[in-house]
Amino acid sequence: MKRRSITYAPAAGDDLDWIYDTVAQGSTPIIASGFERSIRDFCQRLEYGAERGTLRNELRPGLRTVGFGRRVTIAFMVEDHRVVILRIFYGGRDWEADF
C-alpha cells in the first residue's frame, strides 16, 4: 500500500474553523476541539489506501468523497505523492454545488 502525504487546501482549513465554531456554539469548546481532532485524524488515515470513498468525476475529475460520522463529508483528490483535502462539509450542507 502506497503512503501519501496529507495536504489541506485553504478552503478545507476554513471549513474546519467553521465546524469548530459551530460545534463550540452548540456545546463547548472542548467538545468542538475533540470533534475537529477526530476529523483531522480520519483525514490523516487517508495517507494509506487513499483510493477509498466515492469517485465523483461528474463533479470534478479525480474528486473523491468519503463520509465521516453521520454529518461530515470530506472531499479530496489523490495525487501521486499526496492526498489533497479540498473541502470538509458539515451538517447536511449542499456540498455538490461547490464543485
Specify whether the CB–CB gap between 36 and 75 falls below 8 A: no
Going from N- to C-terminal start, the domains of the chain cover 5-98
**Cell representation of residue 60:** 470534478
Fold of 5-98: YaeB-like fold (3.30.2310)
Q: What is the pLDDT of residue 49?
A: 81
Q: How many CA atoms lie within 13 A of 27 on its CB side?
A: 10
Specify whether the CB–CB gap between 23 and 31 falls below 8 A: yes
The 10s digit of each residue's pLDDT in 37-46 is: 999 999 999 9
The 10s digit of each residue's pLDDT in 13-58 is: 999 999 999 999 999 999 999 999 999 999 999 999 888 899 999 9
